[in-house]
Structure 1
Amino acid sequence: MSLDADLARWREHLTRFSALLGSPPDRRTPPRPEAAPGHCLIFAPHPDDECIVGALPLRLQQEAGWRVSNVAVTLGSDVDRRAARWAELQDACAVLGFDCIAVGANGLSDVRADTAEREPALWASHVDAIATLLARHRPALLLLPHELDDNPSHRGVYRLVVEAVAQARLDTVLAHTEFWSTMAAPNALVQTNIADTARLITALERHTGEIARNPYHLRLPAFLADAVRRGGELVLGAGEAPPDFAFATLYRLVPYRAGQPVADLPRSVWPADRALSSVLLMP
């Protein structure tokens, strides 16, 4: 099936789902690319994470002309599947218009929160590799799992990126993401309209080996819908009226200066009719 056919199929399904939720038709502010668009790096613990948490970078790319690159920190624990997972990742990123950056020949090994204590030399080499990558690209925005995302590799990538940002003394913004465990204090709720949600799911379908094991792409709409439910209270405030859209992703945005965190950015909701730009990353 062609990409256009896949997108059309998912748009039809999502339109019906959105109607059941009572959401109004999609609205979208015409994109206005920035004169000097930024660069976003997604630090993916596994191939497929770029699709699950990709709402913010996808919108920055489409609405402000940002470059988005997915950093394949690992290619999974199954050595025999790594070549296939890299190929699937490239297919998925092609759907989204993201670049792919490989770390080493087959990704990094043993990226866990306790690797530094168990294998200090290996961990130091991992931090050096990511710090070098950050110094080369100088990204304005990094996506990474939050500290307590309940998967060993997700927690490992959090620690790895934070230590590499400190080593590179980078000025940037970290966007914490969630999947295995929810965040306690998200401060940004980013809507995806039906077309963009369809694109994220279509990209996720390209990870064929993974969805054959677990068809989690079918559950992604519910995950994005639940972020609207939670975000209405956590970002807007307890007791506030929830947003009137169907699908969104939660993030916690934290500016870093010279490699160290400063105060979180103010809480904000970004519906599809409010064009995203670098203003999102300003205190």
Structure 2
Amino acid sequence: MSLEADLARWREHLTRFAALLGDPPDRHAPPDQEPVPGHCLIFAPHPDDECIVGALPLRLQQEAGWRVSNVAVTLGSDPRRRAARWAEVQDACQVLGFDCIAVGADGLSDVRPDTAERAPALWAAHVGAIATLLDRHRPALVVLPHALDDNPSHRGVYRLVVEAVAQAQLDTVLAHTEFWSTQASPNTLVQTGIADTARLIAALERHTGEIARNPYHLRLPAFLADTVRRGGELVLGAGEAPPDFAFATLYRLVACRNGHPAGDLPRHVCPADRALTSALLTR
């Protein structure tokens, strides 16, 4: 099936779902191209994470002309599937318009929160490889899991990227994401309208081996809808009126200066009818 047919199918399904939630029709943000667009690096613990947490990068790319590159930190735990998973993530990134960066020939191995203690030489090599990549690209935005996202590879990638950002002495903004467990202090809720949500799910469908094992792409709309329920009060405040949209993704944006955290950014709700720009990433 073609991408156009996939997108049309998902738009139809999502429009019906959104109508049940009382979401008004898509309100399109006008493009607000920046003179010098930024560069975002997504550090994906596994191929497919770039789709699940890709709302903010996708909108910055489409609305402000940002370049987005997905870093495939690992290609999964099964060596027999790594070549196929690399092909799948390249296909998914093509749907999203993201560049795709491999780390090593086969992704990094043993990226877990305790690897530094168990295999210090391997961990130092991993941190050095990511720090070199960060120094080469100097991204304005780095997307990574939050510290307690309840999967060993997600927590390992969090530690890996934080240590590499410090080693590279990078000035950037870290966008902490969530999937396996919620994070305590999100400060940014980013809506995706019907078209962008459909694109994220169509890209996720390209990970054919994973969704054959577990059709989690079918549940992603419910996850994004529940994020609106949680995110409205977590970002706006308890008891505040919830946003009037169906689908969104939560992030915690943290400024880094010279490689070290310098404080959370202000709270923001980002509806789809207001273009996202780099102004979101300033204090």
Contact 2:42 2:142 in 1 (8 A): yes
Equivalent residue number for residue 81 of structure 2: 81
Equivalent residue number for residue 139 of structure 1: 139
Give structure 1 regions of 4+ aligned residues with deviation exceeding 3 angstroms. none
Structure 1: give runs of 5+ residues left out of the alignment.
none
Whether 2:105 is the aligned partner of 1:105: answer yes
The Cα shift of 1:28 comes to 1.6
Q: Partner letter of residue 2 of structure 1?
A: S
Alignment of 1:1-283 (within 5 A): 1-283=1-283
- Larger mean CA deviation between 23-32 and 138-147 belongs to 23-32
Q: Partner letter of residue 233 of structure 1?
A: E
Identity over aligned residues, as a percent?
86
1:186 match: secondary structure: coil
Q: CA RMSD in A?
A: 0.4
After superposition, what is the alpha-carbon deviation per residue over 1:29-48, rounded to whole angstroms, capped at 9, x for unaligned? 21021100000000000000
The Cα shift of 1:263 comes to 1.2
After superposition, what is the alpha-carbon deviation per residue over 1:113-167, rounded to whole angstroms, capped at 9, x for unaligned? 0000000000000000000000000000000000000000000000000000000
The Cα shift of 1:274 comes to 1.1
Q: Partner letter of residue 121 of structure 2?
A: A
Q: Partner letter of residue 56 of structure 2?
A: L
CA distance in 2, matches of 1:129, 1:62: 29
Q: Partner letter of residue 206 of structure 2?
A: R
CA distance in 2, matches of 1:112, 1:88: 23
CA distance in 1, matches of 2:30, 2:235: 25
CA distance in 1, matches of 2:173, 2:201: 26
**What is the number of equivalent residue pairs in this alignment?**
283
Q: Partner letter of residue 228 of structure 1?
A: V
Relative to the length of structure 2, the TM-score reads 1.00
Q: Partner letter of residue 275 of structure 1?
A: A
2:219 match: secondary structure: helix
CA distance in 1, matches of 2:100, 2:128: 20
Structure 2: give runs of 5+ residues left out of the alignment.
none
Relative to the length of structure 1, the TM-score reads 1.00
The Cα shift of 1:6 comes to 0.3
Q: Partner letter of residue 156 of structure 2?
A: G
After superposition, what is the alpha-carbon deviation per residue over 1:36-90, rounded to whole angstroms, capped at 9, x for unaligned? 0000000000000000000000000000000000000000000000000000000
Q: Partner letter of residue 274 of structure 1?
A: R
After superposition, what is the alpha-carbon deviation per residue over 1:214-262, rounded to whole angstroms, capped at 9, x for unaligned? 0000000000001100011100000000000000000000000000001
